[in-house]
Structure 1
């Protein structure tokens, strides 16, 4: 420290320390005739970048790396997600991470290829990558878990049978998280049926607070924003106070009741007389059936948009989003008539410190109540189908 202090005093603070640390040699060859030229500008830019990086070393120590576990890492969604995660899109450009990529044994060769690509990107934030088919190893000391992998529905399979099969998978994951993950671990469930899978996971991880488990509803939220913005020729971020209630399924209720566009209600901007017909006959069905429409168009389910939604939901949960409403699948405490204990989509606000709260005291119309009720009925049916996993 004495050496650094001596440099500071002689050279004029931090900038002097930077000059002494590596770029001061250029001062010996300073030429006034180059000032204002392209050569001078390039050097000045290099100096400024070097200066800023050294200042950060003194004033912003590197954050401690955190561990992010991802299941289904070699699948379509997992593949699209991993590179976004590694780039810092989820936890920020200054947060180093360890990635624990978890797959089933038959997918380990494919996962090997994903890891090869990740390494080829040379992401500076990635401090280590673990590829494993051992869930206990993969979730050990995890700070965050993205549960992407789930069994898809096979031809002719009953929905109740699929619920039980996936339920068994997430029951096991919950127990392992409870055993080896950090008790502060935040978990986002992506694999369908996401809400009920989240319920099962949280139930089987009793030592981790239930508020640390969220099912992904951000894809539904973003789909709704996109459709509402497209209709009026605006950008999605121009619309605020939009929410999606209920299940991550075709029964969800995308709700524009409270939505605002530059301070005006969306309904008023759209036109009060025309709004109801468009909302009920076009907007709601389009958002509800968007997943099916994508399958019809491209021959497989949405992957990149689902990955983006998982990243965005977790990012905003952790870092906040300037006071905008989000939709997250969270545990109901009985709010708005949604039965206690179900994981349902709610409008929430986040504080930027990893906490969220359901938006309170919203007036609910009979139409809203009816739409929410349809989705809640499905959630109750799913819960009943996996009741044996919830004892």
Structure 2
């Protein structure tokens, strides 16, 4: 553990009265974490008055790389960052944590089927779920970034029975950000003018990016996105496929998966969960289904949620047309299949 400073120093820290919270990032030497850690240390996620202690978990072979990352964190000279603890032990990493970013996972390799990826990750998230159960705060907020994120979150939650299931979420915020940016580009407005686009379902190519309930502010007036776009073919085909395939397009161009944008999305997800959403606005999060919109229970499914006082609620009573219903059915079926496969893997271990 490296202690960077303390709250009773004479360098202005006394203006930051909050006690530090413990935050864990897994896969801490990886590319996503590299972009995420600055956000955490700078106060972009938990707020400008919330000090943090970072717990950085990775596998033994990555610890030398992690040493370099820690040097950079120290060199940032950020007053909110109090302690840094690098470790290969989940029991150390998850001790008394208030927030967990589960970034590290087995990446999908060429020729690997999705079920192979599930098998490789099932044991990782089983171990981390047990460590959370035994050592984390019971109100810990867990964000799973490592893919297949939805089912990894489901596995993790099932091995942490003492922590509420609603405390485990999967990241579809990257897909939401992609969708918001694509709509803004189409409408020739800045991205902050587009609100309430939804990602339904799995963080996979079956996800359904839905602009039917989105709004756009044009010249000071808020209007429904579909009426401004005025092109159902673009919204239902071009837009949907663009977002579904965006991750693959990044890999094709960059020869590596999304990292900077994924880290930004992880920060966005946790910030809104921690601080809340604005009235009348919602964000997309993979959460345990309670049966809303006819989605099967006990799968981690991306819904629109509104957040207040650190608690999210699924936005209800949105109109779902037949086209959207078919998309929701398709992605929920995939998640049920993943859950079955994950169960089979875990039962055979």
Task: Return the alpha-carbon distance in structure 1 between the equivalents of residues 16 and 142 of structure 2.
Answer: 27
Task: Return the alpha-carbon distance in structure 2 between the equivalents of residues 139 and 133 of structure 1.
Answer: 11
Q: Where do 4+ consecutive residues of structure 1 move more than 4 Å?
A: none
Task: Return the alpha-carbon distance in structure 2 between the equivalents of residues 380 and 388 of structure 1.
Answer: 12
* SS, match of residue 137 in structure 1: helix
Within the candidate set 95, 110, 134, 1:155 is matched to 110
Q: CA deviation at 1:281?
A: 2.6
Task: Return the alpha-carbon distance in structure 2 between the equivalents of residues 236 and 370 of structure 1.
Answer: 28
TM-score by length of 1: 0.83
Structure 1 position 72 matched with structure 2 position 24: no
Residue 283 of structure 2 corresponds to: 326
Q: Greater share of strand residues, 1 or 2?
A: 2
Alignment of 1:291-370 (within 5 A): 291-323=247-279, 324-351=281-308, 353-370=309-326
Q: Is the CA contact 1:101–1:130 (under 8 Å) kept in the aligned structure 2?
A: yes
Q: CA deviation at 1:389?
A: 6.0
Query: How many residues are treated as equivalent by the alignment?
Result: 332
Q: Select the structure with the greater relative contact order (CA < 8 A; seq sep ≥ 6).
A: 2
Residue 268 of structure 1 corresponds to: 227
Alignment of 1:252-267 (within 5 A): 252-262=207-217, 263-267=222-226
Mark the runs of 5 or more structure 1 residues left unpaired by the alignment. 1-49
Task: Return the alpha-carbon distance in structure 1 between the equivalents of residues 182 and 193 of structure 2.
Answer: 12
Q: Greater share of helix residues, 1 or 2?
A: 1
Residue 25 of structure 1 corresponds to: none
Q: Is the CA contact 2:16–2:49 (under 8 Å) kept in the aligned structure 1?
A: no
State the structure with more CA Rg.
1
TM-score by length of 2: 0.92
Q: Is the CA contact 2:132–2:160 (under 8 Å) kept in the aligned structure 1?
A: yes
* SS, match of residue 320 in structure 2: coil
Q: CA deviation at 1:241?
A: 2.2
Residue 183 of structure 2 corresponds to: 228
Q: Is the CA contact 1:67–1:100 (under 8 Å) kept in the aligned structure 2?
A: yes
Task: Return the alpha-carbon distance in structure 1 between the equivalents of residues 175 and 109 of structure 2.
Answer: 24
Residue 140 of structure 2 corresponds to: 185
Within the candidate set 204, 212, 230, 1:249 is matched to 204
Within the candidate set 181, 194, 218, 1:239 is matched to 194
Q: Deviations over 1:297-325 (max 9, x none)?
A: 11111000000000110000110131321
User: What is the CA RMSD across the aligned residues, in angstroms?
Assistant: 1.5
Q: CA deviation at 1:171?
A: 0.7
Q: Is the CA contact 1:325–1:349 (under 8 Å) kept in the aligned structure 2?
A: yes
